[in-house]
Amino acid sequence: MRAIRIGIVWLLIGGLSTPALADDLRASATRAAERAAEQAAQSPKTTMPKAYLWTGSALFVGGMAVGLYGFLNNENGSLPEFGEAEATDKTLGTAGLVAAFAGGTVLFLGSRRAGQSPSLKFGPQGVTVAKTVRW
């Protein structure tokens, strides 16, 4: 079995390092990189609204910190060991994970709304709301 694995590895190394066989792989990788660059140039650059970014990031980081503290702090001065599940604060850890999930959801919704946020214009006649709808 060991000899078969060594043989397969040598065949892969030889196939990918031989210029006659690897040129097709190199050419397809170059084409894929060119296509990705074209798509990146054609797609509009939209950024996430700052309110979503900062709120989601704060909730996620704070929630993960509270969750880790709640699950790993056993008030003994060391990490919990087997059988010490009652020494940790499960409700605090669960609340931290829920807050982290909420932060991730806010970040996801902010990335989805990056180019879809309505614009408000304030003028002497009143407030105008402009919203673009795309299908």
Q: pLDDT by residue (tens digit) across 67-90?
A: 988 888 777 666 667 766 677 788
Supply the pTM of this predicted model. Answer: 0.51
3-state secondary structure of 116: coil
pLDDT tens digits, 7-45: 888 888 877 776 655 566 677 778 888 887 777 667 666
Mean pLDDT calculated for residue range 110-121: 66
Per-residue pLDDT band for 117 (boundaries 50, 70, 90) equals low
pLDDT confidence of residue 101: 94
Of 45-49, 78-82, 98-102, minimum mean pLDDT range: 78-82
Tell me: pLDDT of 132 over 70: no
Of 29-33, 51-55, 103-107, minimum mean pLDDT range: 29-33
3-state secondary structure of 126: strand
Of 74, 92, 94, 96, whose CA–CA distance to 83 is shortest? 74
* 105 close to 114: Cβ distance less than 8 angstroms: no
* 133 close to 82: Cβ distance less than 8 angstroms: no
CA 102 to chain centre: 14
Tell me: pLDDT of 130 over 80: no
